Structure formats: structure tokens, C-alpha cells
Amino acid sequence: MAENSFFLSGDKVLLKPFSTSDINDDYVGWLNDPNVVRFSNQRFLKHDMESCLRYQASFEGTDNLFMIVRRLLDDRPIGTVTAYVARHHGTVDMGIMIGDRSVWGMGYGQDAWGTLMNWFLGREDIRKLTAGTLACNFGMIKLMERSGMSLETVRKAQEIVEGHPEDILYYAKFHGS
């Protein structure tokens, strides 16, 4: 799936397959920035070039997507999106990280999310798209709800964030909805 010519364009962003050339000090810095990974289990890991290369390689030969999010304005990389595809079930579980904090709140994440979500839900072989987040991640909750996703289930007090138990909220959107 992740061939070099494949890309998706939104109103503000361009999504392209993540490549080894995207692994640089800025990208590794996003993963090690406590503010960027505050609500992700990545906060428990220390990343370096090698760990990033291993993660990128884990997508090779799979139906899953790992894409770099670039601003259309200047082609600057600002984040990543992932999609884990269960082809036999017709489902996709998505994730997003906008690592460049200077663009937070400007709609780039919403555009990246909507672009990839709509592409998947426009395919006949995908019947359902899912995503999850912590109940304290208000930005992600707004992003999913603005995208037309509905709360599907809650895992009560599932993870500890900054010393407090937090629920995990799972959202979904079906093909044609």
C-alpha cells in the first residue's frame, strides 16, 4: 500500500507514506516531547533514530498505513497519521500525532484526520473506522466528534495519567454514515 506515488491531499495538508528520510531530529524530538506525547503511551519510551526506523519498518508488507502530515503551504512536516487495517473485518483503527506544537489549534490535525478517514470510508471494502483516546484528551475528543464519529464504548479508569485514573473512550464511524 505505501508506495511512493500514493498521497492524499486535504485543504491544508498533504499525507504521504512515511519514509526513512522523514526520520530526523525534529521527528525524534516530537516523540520525546512530553507535551506532544502527554496522552500517548509513547510517553513511557525514549526514542532514537533506531527505534523510529524499527517502527517505520513494521509497516512494510502490511495493509497498514504510516503517513507523514505535511502542510500544503510550505511542505513542512508537522505530524503523522497511522491506520491499522483489518482487511478481513473491513475495519480500520486510526491514530494521529501533530508533533509540531507551533501549528496546534490551527485545523491541520482536523484536516489530516478527515482526509484519511474520508478516504477509507469512501472505499467499499471498509465498513467501519475506529479510534480511541483518553477522556482527558479534549482536543482528540473534539477532533473525532467534529469528524462525525460517535462514542462507542468506555473503559473506565483504564490508564493512569499524571497520577490519576482516566477512562479510555472509543469512537467509531461506519461506511455510509
pTM for this prediction: 0.93
**Distance of alpha carbon 32 from alpha carbon 45, whole angstroms:** 8
pLDDT by residue (tens digit) across 135-165?
999 999 999 999 999 999 999 999 999 999 9
117-134 mean pLDDT = 97
Centroid of chain to Cα 126: 18
**Distance of alpha carbon 54 from alpha carbon 6, whole angstroms:** 22
Task: Provide the CATH number for the domain formed by 8-130 in this structure.
Answer: 3.40.630.30
Mean pLDDT, the chain, whole residue set: 94
pLDDT for position 12:
98
Confidence of residue 2 (pLDDT cuts 50, 70, 90): very low
pLDDT for position 102:
96
Edge-first strand listing for the sheet containing 77-86? 8-9, 13-17, 65-71, 77-86, 91-98, 128-134, 164-174, 150-161
Least Cα distance to 68 among 20, 25, 16 occurs for 16
Domain residue limits, the chain: 8-130
